[in-house]
Amino acid sequence: MPESRDCFTLCSCFGEGLRLVYWDDDKDFYVSMWKDRGDGRTCWRQRFRHIWRILTKGEPWDDEIVLHMEEAKKLAQFIHDQATRDGREG
């Protein structure tokens, strides 16, 4: 059975999140954005839309991208370069 590893990080405003999932079998990274829905209550219309999207598309969201290894390395290098620019590491 394929294994995956994932990382979830919250936005500094605590309203959104970013989830990264790496699958060993295809060596790709899946990136999706998450949004806090507030008090946890969702109206029936939103629930139906969520269920319908899963049934028709197989995923409850449409904001996921897949990065192949080279693109993931490019993104990681960019983040590292910006985080360490001007001695800001740590």
- Residue-wise pLDDT tens digits, 30-81: 898 887 666 666 678 877 887 887 888 777 666 778 889 999 999 999 889 8
**Domain residue extents for the chain:** 4-87
pLDDT of residue 60: 67
Is the full-model pTM beyond 0.85? no
Per-residue pLDDT at 89 exceeds 60: no
pLDDT of residue 73: 94
CA atoms of 75 and 11, how far apart (whole Å): 18
Q: What are phi and psi of 75, to 5 degrees?
A: -65, -45
CA atoms of 71 and 53, how far apart (whole Å): 28
